[in-house]
Amino acid sequence: MKTIHLLFIGALFFMFLSCQSEEEEIVNEPPPSGLLVPNTPLVNLIRRATQNPTSVDNVIDNSSCFTVQLPVTVIVNGNTIVVSNPTNYQTVQQAIDAFSDDDDLVNFVYPISIQFQDFSTLFIADRDALDNALDGCDDDDDFAEIDCIAFNYPINVNLYDTNNQIANTVTMSSNLQFFNFLNGLSPQVLATIVYPISVTDAFGLALIVGSNSALQDFVENSIGDCDDSIAPNPNFTSVLTSGTWIVSYYFEDDDDETDDYIGYNFTFNSNFTISVIKDAQNSTGAWANYLDNGSNELDLNFSDSNLQELNEDWKIVEYSSNQIRLRHISGGDDMNESYLYFTKI
């Protein structure tokens, strides 16, 4: 993926404004690098880093869909506990762990209020209303918010609306604003962050980030630090060699090419071979997992010529028992980025 500097993006906006007769030709070109494109890995990572943290209170609501606003009173195994701040979650956990022969249910004293990932709130009058809210939650993809890093505001974003040919700059002043802006991105609006920006890492150190690629590296490299506060992932080899996988996302050189891998089933064997089946046709491959300069890598090599694009040494960005997310960067000045997600079926 080619790095395009802000001056180039500014020039792009100028061309849109001054050469309206060429609008259709320009708009129909693939979007240049440097843009914030809906549902791409970078945008999804930023959304997870700016969303309302909803996993911190899972001990009381058993859901990463929303958080229960404090203070709240709960009853656990006959004990009434007032949860007035996050440190009280441990008190609830201790009440759950106190005995092995109790029901361990956390019952709220209603009414309560809940807050979703987009910071919207909902008044909950009783248990039925809470069950309805839970039923309305999307399926969890096993990857929680990235809540140990921070964006230091304000952050400016340049916009160009290809429908009405209007360019302007919006200023992000909070996580709420940034998250909902990204949530509402549309393909016809070209959006670029005005770099450099300031961020704070998991250890409280302020850093300067100067590009989309550097920002993605920063967020990806912080995932492990944020995960230290929750249950650790199972061993990667055990995950990889358990079950059958499909390619749920493949993105290369600004193009979503996931459809090229529909119908392929992958089984990663413990002897470092890969069994591949598509339309009753079998092929093979090989895999290796190793550390390279501190980076956890998965090397893939397939015999099927239709899978040659996957033959790379992939950085393991994150994984759960049901999904593995990989990223590959190649090239020098003309840097190309590829993303490969496996999902267990």
Residue with tokens 């759960």: 320
Residue 103: pLDDT band with limits 50, 70, 90:
confident
- What does the DSSP assignment read for 276-323? EEETTEEEEEEEEEEEETTEEEEEEEESSGGGGGG-SEEEEEEE-SSE
Predicted confidence at residue 139, as pLDDT, reads 67
Check pLDDT > 90 for residue 170: yes
Handedness of CA 228, 295, 342, 48 (dihedral sign): positive
Tens digit of pLDDT for each residue in 36-53?
999 899 999 999 999 999
Cβ atoms of 323 and 342 within 8 Å: the answer is yes
Check pLDDT > 50 for residue 136: yes
Say how far apart CA 135 and CA 122 lie, in whole Å: 14
Cβ atoms of 93 and 28 within 8 Å: the answer is no
40-73 burial, b for 16+ CB within 10 Å, e for fewer? bbbbbbbbbbbbbbbebbebbbebbbbbbebebe
Phi, psi of 85 (to 5 degrees): -155, 165
Tens digit of pLDDT for each residue in 209-248?
999 999 999 999 999 888 654 444 568 999 999 999 999 9
Residue with tokens 């009280």: 88
Residue with tokens 């709130």: 121
For residue 157, what are the β-bridge partners? 170, 193
Half-sphere exposure (Cβ direction) of 32: Cα atoms closer than 13 Å: 17
Predicted confidence at residue 195, as pLDDT, reads 96
Tens digit of pLDDT for each residue in 273-309?
999 999 999 999 999 999 988 889 999 999 999 999 9
Task: Look at 65 and 102; give whichever has higher pLDDT.
Answer: 65
Say how far apart CA 342 and CA 116 lie, in whole Å: 28
